[in-house]
Amino acid sequence: MDAKIKKSALIYIFSFIFLSILIWLIFDSKKNQSKQIYLNQKIVKAAAEFKAMLNGYKMLIDFIDRRYFYDKEILKLLYKASKDKSGKYAQLAYRKLLPLYQDMKKYQITYLQIKTPEGKILLSFQKKQKPKEKSKISLFSQPPKEIIGGFKFINELYYNNLLIGSVEIIISYEAIKDQLRRIFKGEYMFLIHKDVLESKISTDRKSYVQSEISPDFFYETGNIRNYQIPVEVLSKINMKLKEKAEEKIKKMRNFAVDVEVGGNEYVVSFIVITDMTGKKIGYLVYYELDNTVKLFNDTFIVMYISVEIALFAMLSFLINIRTRSEKFRILSEIDTLTGIYNKGKFNQLLEAELKKVKRYNRPLGLIIFDIDHFKKINDTYGHQVGDYVLKTVANIVKNNIRNTDIFARWGGEEFVIIAPETDINGTKILAEKLRNAIEEYNFDTVGKVTASFGVTEAVPEDTTDSIVHRADEALYLAKEKGRNRVEIMLPEV
């Protein structure tokens, strides 16, 4: 009977494991959904901050254009400079615009040049000019190697409705990063695709270093000292990004990933940047210390453990209920002394077997036996020895019947056996086998013990009372004939 409890326990345990895995998958899916929603919000935030920064510079440049390059006096000087080969008017225009350039540098705008409609440089202001060359004007020179490390703003210049050229102002990546750092307190990096660097001839080409994240992208080395995130931490983040972002970065779409370094969580947002034509050229990468993602993971673990505890408690409760139920069932069905079925359970099983006989006309044998002179054993050796004899006889019988046979204690020293699919001859052979087994066994203290057997066979018309009565008559006959024998009582035809 313990096997049923073990089987139920195994079912509950496997159910617990299955539900645990299912709950883990559901919770993990929900966690990943929530985390992705949060990362999408970080992408939107980073893109908005970057756009706001660019718009701020655009407004500043629009103001510069309207303040200086709509000025008729400056436009007139530039017009004359474009016609005059001596450089006189170019020198005057240079001196006129130099205060503007000095003011622009306060906003980290360090590149300004004016070109003719043919693309030749008329005036140029650059941070990298040597001091002695600041006032030197080189008219109608070819453009120097193109600068790609920034965002270019171009405005056409007209004098008396005549196109005299264009003004180009470039905001460097370093200027953008510096302003973003100051306002939003994160760390930034511009990654430029290698195709852009190879297709453009740049004076700054040597200042670009291959990214640790992907070999297809390069970043510009700067002179920044006060990093928001330590350089060694950034390097560790990038090494982890190589695994998590290398495939995503190739698609040239905005995305964000979370990375854990040194017990801290960092959200890294990749915002696509474009050139003047709208072509995608790389990413603005925004590194931000953000333990919110860790909170998602911690909440997931806490919720999962809480559900697992509740599930385990419920499982324990069910196993306990099942165990108690099985114990009560055993108490109601099992004879506590011998461990076999009691009379009540026997009657239920006999009734079920008789229904099979009636429905399918299958053979069914019934044996009733009791221990000879059992009262004398009790009187001579005591009830403890008597109980020992009862349990031993029960064990002998259990070891000599089939698994399909039903064995029960009828009461006192009487026992009954139902033998399904067994006719009268087979039932008699079984009874003789059991009689011999009991007789040949050497019992402690008592020595030899014998038993008398009554055997009958069921017919479709039988009831539990009729078949038991017939077997009981056969048992009585065996006792009348001297005990330790098997007698048969057939139903009347």
> What pLDDT score was predicted for residue 222?
63
Dihedrals phi, psi of 105, to nearest 5 degrees: -65, -25
Q: Is the pLDDT of residue 403 over 70?
A: yes
* pLDDT: which is higher, 458 or 19: 458
Lowest mean pLDDT among 39-48, 158-167, 287-296: 287-296
Q: Which residues of 133-153 are buried (b: 16+ CB within 10 A; e: fewer)?
A: eeeebebeeeeeeebbbbbeb
Tens of pLDDT along 345-360?
Answer: 999 999 999 999 999 9
> What pLDDT score was predicted for residue 146?
54
Mean residue pLDDT of the chain comes to 86
| CATH 3.30.450 domain locations along the chain | 185-290
The Cα angle at residue 256 between residues 251 and 261, in degrees rounded to 5: 125
> What pLDDT score was predicted for residue 418?
97
> What pLDDT score was predicted for residue 133?
44
* pLDDT: which is higher, 322 or 282: 282
Contact 112, 122 (CB under 8 A): no
* pLDDT: which is higher, 200 or 184: 184
Reduced to 3 states, what is the DSSP secondary structure of residue 246?
Answer: helix
Please report, rounded to a whole number, the percentage of residues in the chain having pLDDT higher than 90.
49
Q: Is the pLDDT of residue 144 over 60?
A: no
> What pLDDT score was predicted for residue 90?
87
Lowest mean pLDDT among 90-94, 291-295, 481-485: 291-295
* pLDDT: which is higher, 140 or 62: 62
Contact 241, 213 (CB under 8 A): yes
Pick from 60-69, 170-179, 473-482 the range whose average pLDDT is largest: 473-482
> What pLDDT score was predicted for residue 157?
93
Lowest mean pLDDT among 161-175, 225-239, 392-406: 225-239
Q: Domain 185-290: state its class.
A: alpha beta
Amino acid at 27: F
Tens of pLDDT along 411-427?
Answer: 899 999 999 999 999 99
> What pLDDT score was predicted for residue 203?
47
Contact 370, 475 (CB under 8 A): yes
Contact 407, 398 (CB under 8 A): yes
* Fold exhibited by the domain 343-488: Alpha-Beta Plaits (3.30.70)
Tens of pLDDT along 190-223?
Answer: 999 988 887 654 445 557 888 889 999 998 876 5
Contact 490, 471 (CB under 8 A): no
DSSP letter assigned to residue 141:
B
483 band by pLDDT with thresholds 50, 70 and 90: very high
- Reported residue count of the chain is 493
| CATH 3.30.70.270 domain locations along the chain | 343-488
- Two structure tokens written together for 485: 């024998």
Q: In what order do the strands lie in the sheet with 264-274?
A: 208-210, 217-220, 187-193, 280-289, 264-274, 255-261
120 band by pLDDT with thresholds 50, 70 and 90: confident
Contact 467, 350 (CB under 8 A): yes
Tens of pLDDT along 425-452?
Answer: 999 999 999 999 999 999 999 999 999 9
